[in-house]
């Protein structure tokens, strides 16, 4: 019978076992180093406030429900008012617009139509008590209502810095409409056009129209605003109430007009004009108060001793001017310092003659018509809405007209009459009227 050995595992077996154990240990240590176990993560508590809940994870149904609630609560406080361009320029079409007016008392409301527009009174619905044209604010008399129609004011300190949802009320021809205002950032900033800080809502999902009223999601009145570049500036309700009270006491404030249009001084314009700062005069109204003192390409650096660094500064300076009172304007013309004295007039009183000229530079496009290369400002073509690049494919009964045919058709029209023009703009076809 063979002898059975009583010896334990061989040397090779022991080495194999040790290798396996060491490898397992190293893999474990590497795993702990590469994927450390952090503390247990607690699920965040769901926000309880509507604004916080919407900012965290809004649903369309929830948002729509909240906005319907805001609409019900503030509908009695909103009156839709009609506005037109605040100008007596017969060459300018007075386009109709709408802004919401917000009740601030049993029979008073305030609106912000803007400095370039005025409110058209409507008998039985509202009348204009007074307006501050420089700031674009109007105080209205509206049908009496109980005090419950006056919205509660929001506490500015309670507004979130970012991000968040608010409710915006804008006006339409059929009445006020509410929609969500989502913003990425809220700042309180100084603005040269206002004495008190304004609210600047930026990183907006969608821009609001001028004059839109802004409310919190629990229907508290924040203020009324206007677009400003990529942000929306809101004049706080408290400031509007102060302005409205002053308007009721002192009456309307007319806006001053220097008869100028300005643009920022940027890029190559600095070297070309010889100025380091200011705003560039882009247009001088021929019949305006500054027609004999200033010209296009002049740079305005100060008005009445107040430095002008931007178009906003220029607008703010205009607000401080009184029509009929002369003011000193400092600037630069072709690199040389310039100082003139101009007496502003009431805005809307500068009469500009209607330009009867066609105002078109045209080039022939064989077999298609004539392309508008340049459109003169305030010309018949500009008033008709023709733009550079438009292809005039027909005028009256003439198809594919050459430039000479277009000029002759316009010249043959009687004064005050119109010529029908067919226009192709990209992939869009339009019909416009050239009025002589």
Q: Are residues 299 and 383 in the same domain?
A: no
Does residue 120 have a pLDDT over 90? yes
Instruction: Decide if 140 contacts 121 (C-beta within 8 A).
Output: no
Strand positions, DSSP E, 71-142 = 78-85, 97-103, 108-111, 117-120, 127-132, 137-141
Regarding predicted confidence, which is higher, 57 or 72? 72
Read off the pLDDT of residues 181-209 as tens digits, 9 standing for 90 and up.
999 999 999 987 788 899 999 999 899 99
Read off the pLDDT of residues 373-414 as tens digits, 9 standing for 90 and up.
888 877 889 889 999 899 999 998 899 999 999 999 999 998
Q: Are residues 263 and 342 in the same domain?
A: yes
* CA-CA-CA-CA dihedral for 8, 12, 13, 16, to nearest 10: 150
Q: Are residues 402 and 339 in the same domain?
A: no
210 assigned to some structural domain: no
Q: Are residues 322 and 385 in the same domain?
A: no
Q: Are residues 339 and 369 in the same domain?
A: no
Q: Of 302, 321, 346, which one is at a domain's C-terminal end? A: 346
213 assigned to some structural domain: no
Distance of alpha carbon 252 from alpha carbon 243, whole angstroms: 11
391 assigned to some structural domain: yes
Does residue 88 have a pLDDT over 60? no
For residue 145, CA distances in Å to 77, 136, 205 come to 9, 25, 35
Mean pLDDT of the chain: 86
For residue 151, CA distances in Å to 31, 66, 98, 169 come to 62, 17, 21, 13
Q: Of 89, 124, 148, which one is at a domain's C-terminal end? A: 148
- What pLDDT score does 4 carry? 42
Q: Are residues 379 and 324 in the same domain?
A: no
- What pLDDT score does 30 carry? 59
Instruction: Decide if 356 contacts 383 (C-beta within 8 A).
Output: no
What is the H or E stretch that residue 228 is in?
Answer: strand 221-228
Q: Are residues 336 and 366 in the same domain?
A: no
Q: Of 104, 120, 148, which one is at a domain's C-terminal end? A: 148
Q: How many CB atoms neighbour CB 206 within 10 A?
A: 10
Q: Are residues 69 and 125 in the same domain?
A: yes
- What pLDDT score does 36 carry? 52
Read off the pLDDT of residues 258-284 as tens digits, 9 standing for 90 and up.
999 999 999 899 999 999 999 999 889
CATH assignment at residue 301: 2.30.42.10
Number of domains the chain is built from: 3
CATH assignment at residue 125: 2.40.10
Helices (H) and strands (E) in the chain, counts: 8, 27
- What pLDDT score does 331 carry? 97
165 assigned to some structural domain: no
Per-residue confidence at 11, pLDDT binned at 50, 70, 90? Answer: low
168 assigned to some structural domain: no
Domain that holds residue 401: 360-435
Q: Are residues 340 and 263 in the same domain?
A: yes
351 assigned to some structural domain: no
Q: Are residues 61 and 144 in the same domain?
A: yes
Q: Are residues 364 and 315 in the same domain?
A: no
Q: Are residues 59 and 137 in the same domain?
A: yes
280 assigned to some structural domain: yes
319 assigned to some structural domain: yes
- What pLDDT score does 359 carry? 87
* CA-CA-CA-CA dihedral for 85, 86, 88, 92, to nearest 10: -30
Regarding predicted confidence, which is higher, 348 or 360? 360
Distance of alpha carbon 131 from alpha carbon 108, whole angstroms: 13
Instruction: Decide if 165 contacts 349 (C-beta within 8 A).
Output: no
């Amino acid at each position: 019978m063979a002898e059975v050995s009583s010896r334990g595992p061989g040397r090779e077996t022991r080495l194999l076992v040790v290798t396996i154990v060491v490898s397992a240990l190293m893999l474990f240590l590497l795993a702990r180093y590469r994927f450390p176990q952090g503390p247990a993560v607690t699920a965040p508590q769901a926000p309880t406030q509507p604004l916080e809940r919407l900012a965290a994870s809004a649903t369309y149904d929830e948002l729509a429900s909240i906005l319907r609630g805001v609409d019900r609560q503030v509908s009695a406080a909103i009156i839709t008012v009609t506005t037109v361009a605040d100008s007596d320029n017969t060459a300018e079409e007075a386009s109709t617009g709408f802004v919401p007016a917000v009740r601030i008392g049993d029979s008073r409301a305030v609106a912000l139509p803007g400095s370039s527009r005025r409110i058209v009174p409507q008998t039985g619905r509202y009348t204009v008590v007074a307006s501050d044209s420089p700031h674009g604010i109007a105080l209205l008399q509206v049908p009496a209502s109980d005090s419950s129609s006056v919205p509660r004011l929001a506490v500015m300190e309670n507004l979130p810095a970012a991000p968040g949802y608010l409710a915006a009320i804008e006006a339409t021809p059929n009445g006020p409409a509410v929609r969500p205002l989502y913003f990425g950032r809220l700042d309180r900033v100084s603005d040269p056009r206002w004495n008190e800080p304004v609210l600047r809502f930026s990183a907006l999902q969608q821009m609001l129209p001028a004059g839109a009223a802004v409310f919190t999601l629990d229907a508290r009145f924040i203020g009324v605003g206007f677009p400003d570049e990529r942000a929306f500036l809101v004049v706080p309700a408290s400031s509007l109430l102060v302005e409205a009270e002053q308007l009721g006491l002192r009456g309307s404030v007319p806006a001053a007009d220097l008869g100028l249009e300005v643009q920022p001084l940027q890029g190559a314009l600095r070297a070309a004009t010889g100025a380091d700062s200011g705003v560039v005069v882009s247009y001088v109204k021929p019949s305006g108060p500054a027609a004999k003192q200033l010209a296009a390409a002049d740079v305005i650096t100060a008005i009445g001793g107040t430095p002008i660094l931007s178009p906003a500064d220029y607008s703010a300076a205009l607000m401080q001017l009184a029509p009929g009172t002369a003011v000193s304007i400092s600037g630069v013309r072709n690199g040389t310092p310039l100082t003139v004295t101009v007496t502003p007039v009431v805005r809307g009183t500068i009469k500009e003659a209607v330009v009867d000229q066609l105002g078109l530079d045209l080039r022939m496009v064989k077999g298609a018509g004539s392309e508008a290369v340049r459109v003169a400002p305030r010309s018949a073509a500009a008033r008709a809405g023709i733009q550079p690049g438009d292809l005039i494919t027909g005028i009256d009964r003439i198809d594919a007209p050459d430039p000479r045919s277009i000029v002759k058709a316009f010249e043959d029209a009687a004064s005050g009459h119109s010529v029908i023009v067919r226009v192709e703009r990209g992939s869009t076809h339009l019909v416009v009227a050239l009025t002589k």
